[in-house]
Amino acid sequence: MDRKANRREKEYEEKHSNSEGCDPEKDYKTSLITLNVGGYLYITQKQTLTKYPDSLLEGVINGKIMCPLDADGHYFIDRDGLLFRHILNFLRNGELLLPEGFRENQLLAQEAEFFQLKVLSDAVKSRWEKEQLACRETTFLEITDSHDRSQGLRIFCNAPDFIAKIKSRIVLVSKSRLDGFPEEFAVSSNIIQFKYFIKSENGTRLVLKEDNTFVCTLETLKFEAIMMALKCGFRLLTSLDCSKGSIVHSDALHFIK
């Protein structure tokens, strides 16, 4: 009887020991890695950091590359801690996703090269080249009368995304004041074409029907465009038609950053 009891106790201990070794919560905790990058702490999973073989992070985590530890025992990497969030997001998502207005392409490309992530480095450089090309190209937005193209406003800028922003803003303002008649204007890639412009004592108005109900004046649109440009860091280079003596009376505006 004693031998059977001892055998059962031994089997129970072995089974209990094996179940502890397969504790999923324990395995999950050991898969979490804390990195100290330039003083910023990042916690992520081992599988994220080892996603790209032969990268510096994969080498560090798998013990191929020696890495110093900070006072708390975390891996310490002496690089830009703020930019590392974009490195980590790339490892998580598998694609380059940057916030609107991001302007540190050069620095991020250097970080990607340091971490030996060629795919990321190529993606950053491609994005940078496209932005440089876009900056050299001047684009425009034309707000015009479908019956008389001499009546209207042209906005020139070397940033296509800003032109798109102005266009969406003007369309939004126009729709909000058309009282259910959005068909009274048409929008193409670079042109907003209203059905009517008329002259009145208060200036040129954008009209939706014969009783002269108006959307807003062209002067209002000019001020709207100028204020948006200044808030986005652009400056008014010149009025392309200075003969009229005032910005609000000009036919075109030219913005540059």
Q: CATH number, domain at 105?
A: 3.30.710.10
Same domain, 142 and 121: no
Q: Measuring CA to CA, which residue among 82, 5, 90, 12 is closest to residue 42?
A: 82
* Cα→Cα distances 87→31, 120, 125, Å: 19, 8, 14
Domain boundary among 78, 97, 132: 132
* Residue 83 is assigned to a structural domain of this protein: yes
Domain tally, the chain: 2
Query: What is the Cα–Cα distance from 159 to 233, expressed in whole angstroms?
Result: 11
DSSP per position, 145-196 = ESS-TTSEEEEEES-HHHHHHHHHHHHHHHHHTSSS-GGGEEE-SSEEEESE
Same domain, 44 and 124: yes
171: tokens are 């369309």
Same domain, 113 and 184: no
Same domain, 168 and 235: yes
pLDDT of residue 49: 96
Dihedral of the alpha carbons of 140, 141, 143, 145, in degrees to the nearest 10 = 60
Domain boundary among 100, 132, 164: 132
Element spanning 217, H or E:
strand 214-217
Per-residue pLDDT of the chain (257 residues; tens, 9 = 90+): 454 445 445 544 554 444 445 555 545 446 899 999 999 999 999 999 999 999 999 999 999 999 999 999 999 999 999 999 999 999 999 999 998 778 899 999 999 999 999 999 999 999 888 777 666 555 777 777 666 666 677 888 877 778 888 777 777 766 655 444 444 566 777 777 766 555 544 545 555 444 444 555 666 677 777 888 888 888 887 654 445 556 656 778 888 77
Contact yes or no for 62/50 (Cβ under 8 A): yes
Answering whether pTM is above 0.85, one says: no
Same domain, 124 and 164: no
Same domain, 186 and 89: no
Look up the domain containing 103 and give its range.
Answer: 22-132
